[in-house]
Amino acid sequence: MTIHLIKSWEYDRESFNDVVELLSTFDGPLTFSSDEIDFDADQFPFLLRYRTNYTFKNTEEEKKNPFIADRGFPLSFRELFSLCKEFRKIKKNS
């Protein structure tokens, strides 16, 4: 299975490349792929949205996925898959 890693604008390219390189050193069924595509904040304004009213369904889930308000994390499925769709569109046109 190939996992495509996508760098966001707030994470520097050198650190991102270091992470990809580290992940690629592990043997197993997963392979990691990355491209030099850099998204900018204007393309996906919802990524920086401040959501104070977000609640988790149970406390166990909250421990696994802490909400980071200033980053708008975690993303909804709609938001996450809109990033994936844009990535595929860019790859198809390149």
pTM recorded for the entire structure: 0.46
Q: What is the pLDDT of residue 51?
A: 45
pLDDT tens, residue order, the chain (94 aa): 888 888 877 778 899 899 999 998 988 888 898 887 777 667 766 655 544 455 545 555 445 555 565 665 666 667 777 888 888 888 788 7
**DSSP codes of every residue in 48-65:** G---TT---SSHHHHHHS
Q: What is the pLDDT of residue 18?
A: 92
77 touches 46 (CB < 8 A) = no
CA–CA gap between residue 10 and residue 18 (Å, rounded): 15
Token readout for 91 is 């790859």
CA–CA gap between residue 68 and residue 71 (Å, rounded): 6
**Of 59, 44, 56, which Cα lies nearest the Cα of 7?**
44
